[in-house]
Each structure stands twice: as C-alpha cells, then as structure tokens.
C-alpha cells in the first residue's frame, strides 16, 4: 500500500501516514501484527480515542493514531527519531495489502452520535422557529 513518510525539520524519520480510506483501524493492527517480533500492547477497542494501537518492536515503542480522532489518515509514530525499526515497519506497510473492515462497532458509535447531534440541532432549530412565531405573531 502507499504510505507517506514524514521527516521533521532536522530530516529525522519518525512518522508515516496511511490513507484511512484504504485500510481500517483494525486493519492497521492486523498489518502491524504480521511484522515478525512485534508485540501489540494496546488493541483497538469498540471506540478508541486518537491513539488506537500501541506496539513494541525490539524494545522500541510505537503508536498508531488518527489525528483529532477523525481524520483522513492514520499516523504510525515512533517515540524516537531515525529508528531502524521504523524503516522495517514502513517497508512492511509498503509491501502489504490494505485490510478493510472490522470497525463495525466504531462506525455504529459514530453514526449514533451523528444522529443524536442532528436531532439536537433540529430540536434547537424548531424551538427557535416556534419562539419566533410566538413572539412575532
């Protein structure tokens, strides 16, 4: 799959991005778990916040996050810059096929929240219109 390697101002490789339209949160964890020597220390839950997976490779810690909890990308981030392990992980992702699906619970949660928020704002709009009609009629 296609990834975007990110280097900071000092030229250090510490992060890469994956488009979340081609892979799910649980798919990210599955691809990571296929890397020899990886130990996943935090798996995605029914609903996880911005950081939804943490893992170790050769004693080095990494995390996978969706910036702001609702973004079009997933970031795989190393705690230290220029790790050999980061290149191993990035190369593994470039050679892997995306895994979609498995995030049903998360999608239901967001759909429920969206419906609830929509109902709230529709109710506010109706109350404003009702109040306007009561005052000016």
Q: 114 with 86, same domain?
A: no
Q: Are residues 73 and 33 in the same domain?
A: yes
Please check whether residues 85 and 112 belong to one and the same domain: no
Write the DSSP assignment of 19-77 as a string of letters: ETTTS-HHHHHHHHHTSTTEEEEE---SS--SEEEEEEETTEEEEEE-GGGS-SEEEEE
Q: Which domain holds residue 44?
A: 3-101
Q: What is the per-residue pLDDT across 4-16, written as a single tens digit (0 to 9) for each?
A: 999 989 999 999 9
What digits encode the pLDDT tens for the residues 28-51? 999 999 999 999 998 866 666 788
**Per-residue pLDDT tens digits for 57-109:** 999 999 999 988 778 899 999 998 899 999 999 999 999 988 776 555 556 65
Rounded to two decimals, what is the model's pTM?
0.71
Question: How far is Cα 114 from Cα 117, in angstroms, rounded to an integer?
Answer: 5
Residues 16-23: what's their mean pLDDT? Answer: 91
Say whether both 13 and 71 belong to one domain: yes
Q: Which residue has the tokens 């996050």?
A: 65
- Considering its fold, how many domains does the chain have in total? 2
């Amino acid at each position: 799959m296609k990834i975007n390697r990110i280097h900071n101002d000092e030229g250090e490789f510490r992060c890469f991005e994956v488009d979340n339209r081609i892979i799910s949160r649980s798919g990210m964890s599955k691809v990571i778990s296929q890397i020899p020597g990886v130990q996943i220390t935090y798996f995605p839950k029914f609903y996880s916040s911005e950081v939804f997976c943490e893992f170790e490779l050769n004693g080095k810690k990494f995390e996978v996050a969706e910036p702001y909890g609702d973004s079009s990308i997933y970031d795989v981030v190393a705690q230290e810059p220029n790790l050999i392990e980061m290149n191993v992980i990035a190369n593994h992702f470039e050679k892997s096929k995306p895994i979609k699906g498995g995030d049903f619970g998360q999608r239901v949660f967001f759909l429920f929240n969206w419906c609830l928020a929509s109902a709230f704002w529709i109710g506010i709009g109706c109350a404003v219109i009702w109040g306007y009609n009561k005052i000016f009629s």
